[in-house]
A and B are shown apart, each in its own frame.
Chain A
Amino acid sequence: MSLNYFELFGLNPIFNIELATLESNFRKIQSESHPDRFLTASATEKLSAMQLATLANEAYQCLKNPANRAKYLLELQGITAISETNTAMPMDFLMQQMEWREATEDAVSAKDVDALDNLLAEIRVEAKSLQENLVSLLDVKKDYATATDATRKLIFMEKVSEDINRAIEQLDI
């Protein structure tokens, strides 16, 4: 099986994919490879259906998430956006991350869910503009170096958003 994730779902390898198409083609492969359809099939057919289902699941999880999709597109270009030994990020970006983290901590100790919601909204605006940048960088300009920087930033934004969401859930209980 040498199809890449985009080909698997019949999508063009671009950042700005049609999420509805991704969704419906994923559901289609899921139902076509469902074990119930292979009850009387041979062991080989069962195995390949299971492998297809697993691959489709991996591919779907990767492509539906913007940071992972950008990372994967860069990988298709032979670029590793995430090297464990490269910890250099722009200083102002890291300062902003620290500020968000500290604001989150303060809001959590004050049990202030509104403040957390506001932070999330602020981060979402930034993440959205990064994603718009990525559409232009990856799909139009094909400026993969700048796209790599933007992708790295997006990963940090998703992490901080996840942590804030988790904090909100814990406070809501």
Chain B
Amino acid sequence: MAYSDKVLDHYENPRNVGTLDKNDPNVGTGMVGAPACGDVMKLMIKVNDNGIIEDAKFKTYGCGSAIASSSLVTEWLKGRTIEEAYAIKNSEIAEELALPPVKIHCSVLAEDAIKAAVADIKAKQAAKETV
């Protein structure tokens, strides 16, 4: 199967690979897996006091489309609010990367990773407020 140029670009030069300090109260972690192919994805976001994402890192073990989807969303996330991040749809990711139908689940994985990371940061903030 041929990958699009954008997928190849992200696959060969993935942006923002790595991790952030998971114990930082301003860092949210989203971890998801795709049972269809056994891919796993970890996305970490660092949010400032105004609710803006300052940094995003990912680690994905999976196919080129899964790596490209997570690399792309780390670029998109920086500078967005967590609400804007939460609103990102897998169809936008799939469209940007021109993913074929059999690889749509890779973009679903990336969307779910964002939602999981946002949920984690919100839970951390809620815990902070009750202290």
Contacts and interface: CB of A to CB of B under 8 A. Distances in A.
Interface stretch (A12-20, A107-115, A154-162): A154-162
* Chain B residues touching A, range: 10 to 19
Interface stretch (A54-62, A82-90, A133-141): A82-90
B92 to A, nearest CB: 16
Contacts of B38: 155-156, 158-160
A94 to B, nearest CB: 5
A98 B59 CA distance: 9
B32 A94 contact: yes
A86 B31 CA distance: 13
Contacts of B31: 91, 94-95, 98
A160 B38 CA distance: 8
A135 to B, nearest CB: 20
A81 interface: yes
A contacts with B: majority SS: helix
A152 interface: yes
B35 A98 contact: no
B35 A152 contact: yes
Contacts of B59: 98, 101-102
Interface residues of A, number: 23
B67 interface: no
Contacts of A88: 32, 112
B40 A156 contact: yes
Given A101-B40, A155-B38, A160-B38, A94 B108 contact: no
Given A87-B34, A89-B35, 11 more contacts: A82-B35, A87-B112, A89-B32, A89-B33, A93-B33, A97-B40, A152-B35, A155-B38, A156-B40, A160-B61, A163-B61
Interface of A: 81-82, 84-89, 91, 93-95, 97-98, 101-102, 152, 155-156, 158-160, 163
8 closest A-B pairs by CB: A159-B38, A84-B105, A152-B35, A87-B32, A101-B61, A87-B112, A89-B33, A94-B31
